[in-house]
Structure formats: structure tokens, C-alpha cells
Structure 1
Amino acid sequence: MNRRFSKRMLVIATAFAATAVLMGTTACSSSAPEQSSSSGGSGDTVKIGLVTKTDSNPFFVKMRESAQESAKENGAELIALAGAFDGDNEGQVAAIENLVSQGVDGIMITPNSSSGILAAIKKARDQGILVVALDTATDPEDAVDATFATDNLAAGVAQGKWVKAALGDKAPKLLMLDGTPGGTVDTFRHDGFLQGMGLSEDSPEVLGMENTNGDQTKAQTAMENLLQRVPDANSLYTINEPAAAGGYAAIKAAGKQDQIVIGSIDGSCTGVENVKNGVIGATVMQFPTKMADEGVKAIVAFAKDGTKPKAGFNDTGSVLITDKPMSGLDSEDTAWGAENCWG
């Protein structure tokens, strides 16, 4: 090999190495989260994060499935995360940070804590990420770009009005299986139910309350404890249908299923079947599929051209389901409920 050829090879090798370093630097830079408010507009797949309260509650399982289907239909990628349990604010904070690091265009969240999650949401929005709340509003509401949810106060009122009407002339002896303190859903449903019953927090008719985290097993234990203290209870508020099922199990074990009127909120296909079978007297149907679909479409539109959804609360609707309709209350029967459950 002559000296001229050796020198030429050295120049080529040096140029190749420099190019490799430049390409490596460019690749690292492109993996950082996009800061632009329209990061999906370049033709890349829109990335959407979903953070639910848990990954086991049937309501949130349905929401995740619906979000996945809607993302696929709209050419987007869904990354679904969740808290470890109902009330796990720290887990949701970590999930948001995870999604931000993955460069999502938008995040949909059902907050475990309506105020505890605000700092993490602000950090995401400050990086140009659209954040929408599903099912549960933040406090304050404008901490997110938009909310797609049930009017939970109205749903609670509907449950309370039905239970009151179902009691007829009987004075209420009320027990309450609440959810998780700190969430707007829990507060609105609780307050709405009392409003529908014509009661207040301090009314003597309210004889016992227990938190259940919306969990069936916890609700059964809580109801067992409540019945020991108030064996003559005749009415029961439940935060959701798993809580209602747990409460009913305790009521049935105590032989009091004909004594206590049960109301609930969710509208799952299982819950509608429980209404049909007399486990629950009435339930208020929500529409998690609509929540998820509206959230996905809002983020896709934002990622493509910067269009933001209508700010504030967007009501996705609710319907009272019962086979024991009460005068003056709009409702649908369980046949209708079975056809429309969790649409």
C-alpha cells in the first residue's frame, strides 16, 4: 500500500466517524419530548396518554377499551396507565411524568385527587401537552383544557329522588357507602343524593357513612359494620355499582334484602342486570365510551392543527335505569339499559 492511498483512506475514515457522531446526536435529540403544541402535525402518529384511577374497576376497564378503539379509528397510538388503587394520587403523578417523557401529544386523566394532581398537570401543559379530564373534574375545573364527564351532581340527585320515592311514606333511615375522599365525583354524587332525598349532611335520617373506594369487597365489609350499628336501616346510597353489589351481599347475608332500598350510579351491563334481578332498585347510567371518544378526538384535532376543545365541563349525559319507575322521574327500563349499557 503506497503513502498516497493510505492518506486517502485516513481522510475517508475520519469523515465517516464524524458523520456517525452527527447522526447519533441527531437521533438522541429527536427522542426528547416535543415541546410544540402541535407536535403531531408533522405527519407522525399522534400519541395519547390515558391515566385512569385504577386498571381493575369495570368502569375504567371499559373506558380504556373504548379509548383504545377510538385511538385506532383515528390513527393514533394509546398509552394506558393507571393508579394502583382508587385514591392513588402519587401513582397518577408518576404516570403523567412517564407519559410526558414519552412525548405524548395529549393526556386524558380520571383524577384520583381533584386537587392533588394539579402540579403534575400544569407541568404537562407547560410543555405544550393538551390535558383533558374524563369522568372526574379537577378542582379548579380550568386546571385542564377541557372535561368530558357525567354531571355527577345531577346523577346523585336522580339516585336520591328515586330512593326517596321508592320509600313512599316511610321516613328514611339512610346509610351511605361513599367512595374516596378528595375526588369531585365522590363529592358531587354524595351531595346530589342528599339533595335528591331532601336531606343535608347533618339530617337525623342519615344514620351512617363509610368509605369504600368504590370496591366491592370493602363495601361488603363496610355494610356489615353499618348494619351492626343500624339494623333497622331502610335505604342505601352507593357511590357505584361494585359498592352496591358489596352492600347487597351484606344485606342478603343479614336477611334484610326486602327491608332496604338500594340506589346506585354507573350503568354497566352487569349493573343493569343487577337492577333487573332486584339487587339494585335503580342505577344511573353513564357513558364512558362517549367520554373516551370525545377525549381522543379532542387530542387528535389538537395534535394535527392546534385546535383546542371547548373549555370547561362537557356533559356526556346520564339516564336513570329501573324497572320500578316513579311518578315525576324520567327513566328507562332494563331492556333499554341492556341495549345501551356503557355506550
Structure 2
Amino acid sequence: MTGPFGATSTTDEVLAGVDLSGKRVLVTGASAGLGVETARALAARGAQVVGAARDLAKAERATAAVRADARNGGGLELIELDLASLASVRKTSHALVADGRTFDIVIANAGVMATPLGHTADGFETQFGTNHLGHFVFVNRIASLISPGGRLVNVSSSGHRFADVDLEDPNFEHTDYEPWLAYGRSKTANILFAVEFDRRHKSRGVRATALHPGGIQTELGRHLPEGALEQLLTRINTELAAEGKPPFQFKTIPQGAATSVWAGAVAAADEVGGKYCENCHVSVVTEGLINPISEGVRSYALDPEHAKALWAKSEEMVGEVFAH
């Protein structure tokens, strides 16, 4: 059963009756918020979850509930991964490949949002470097470990509607930096990466999809200036009132992680492959005004030629070429 599910569905509702015993799942960002809940829900259905986190001590503390809720052979293993350092990405991916155990689902969940101007260890703009390039290298290096019938799930955002990627100036060397603009670029990149990864791997039965989890209050907002979230909510609610709609309500963390587990373990592969999902269904293409909470994906984020161009630019930036 793949539905009907929606914006208020939780991870436990989406996975009700699903047996993931014997499945192995990798989740990045398993030290807080959506990553922890995603890992918990999967391990509770019997999945062996490998949680990747930059701060292992923090992840150990945060994932106590994951181990406590594990059932039917499910469990959790933590590995260190700093997506803002390609040295860390390469070290961890090399260890996983050397280990040789395969994955049925990889959920690229980790990320940063609206950070001040900064750079990764390799000199990339922080958000593009962490949210996109770190995952780009990591996932491609372990792609051979994703079993036929497996799936890549990239956690993107409705924030992709703030901006398309800029392949001419990805590091803001010639563009005035704006936190939300940079976030939008990185989240569009997450979708385009899924589109091209899906094209390259679907012949061997591996599919990829991207999604918006919804508006959730997590650590992701830690870089926002004081009052910034309140200002954004005021603008959103003014727009909603003008449309005769009720005020915006945040999702709970179990509701926010529901689309990740739905897209990874419940939805049909052909339904979500190469697509963008939200509220536990495949979204439709919409253009026009930016509304941070309305549904819809911009056409530039699903454009296959655009996805190929981003892939080539990403390979150039990281100095590594990945086979078709």
C-alpha cells in the first residue's frame, strides 16, 4: 500500500505493515532531527541502518531512541562523515567500499541552511559544497554498493524555488552572497543530482528521487538571525490570509521524515524515479511566484540537460569523474 498519505502523515503511519528485515539503509545527518527520526522508523521495521554524522559523540547521544525502538533484527551503526571535507568523504566512502556490504536505500539527508558566507575545507561555498558536492562525491563513490532494486533519496527543499544553480559562479566569486539564494542553489542541485543519477543507474534497477520534507523546526535553522524566522512566517501568513487559507503550521519531525521513508521504502520505483516528491506524493511542476510553502517543483530542477551540465560542473569542481 502506497497511500493515501499526505502532509500530516507520520513515519509510523507510512511504514505501518512494512517489513524491512534484511534491508540495509544508509542515512546521512543521523545526529539530529529528520535524520534521527528516519533512522528510528526504519530500524523499528527491521532495517539495519548505517547513520553517518560529522560529530559521532553527538550522534551517539541523539540516537538512543533508534536503538531502543529497533525490532525484528533492526539496528544502528554510526560512521563519521563530514560532508564539508572531501578528505572525510573519500575516507569514509573508501572504507564502505572496502567493507563491501551493500545498501538497499541511501538517504542523503544531511545539510545546512541559510549560513553566513563561508567555505568548506576545499574552498567551496558552504551550502553548495556541503549540501550538494559532499553528497555528490560520497554517493557516487558508493554507488556500486547500492543493490539492484535499490534507491537514492535526496532530501531537497521547497527552497529550491529561491534559485536555480549558477554553473558560472557556484562559489559566489562574482555574485553578491545572500544566504537564501545560496540555499536555493544547493537545494536545486540536490534535485538535479537525483535526476541525472536516476538516468545513469536505472538500467541496473537503481532509482533516485528528491523531496521536500516540509516546514519543520529542527537544528537546520540554527544559522538564522534573530527574528528572521518570525519575519518569514509573517509574510507567509499574510499571503495565505489573502488567499483565504488558514495560517501555516509546522510539521512535526515524524511528519517531516515521512516523505523520506515513503519515497525510499514504500512508493513504487517507477513512480518516484527521477521525480520530486513532497507530502508523500510526487509533486507537479509549477512556475511563478515564490511561496515557501505552496507545493510544486520548478521545471529547471527537473531539466535533464541541466542535470547533465551540473554533473559535469560538479566533476570539474571536485576533480573526480564518475562512470556512467
TM-score, length basis structure 1: 0.35
Highest Rg: 1 or 2?
Answer: 1
Query: Which structure's relative contact order is higher, taking Cα pairs within 8 Å and 6+ residues apart?
Result: 2
TM-score, length basis structure 2: 0.36
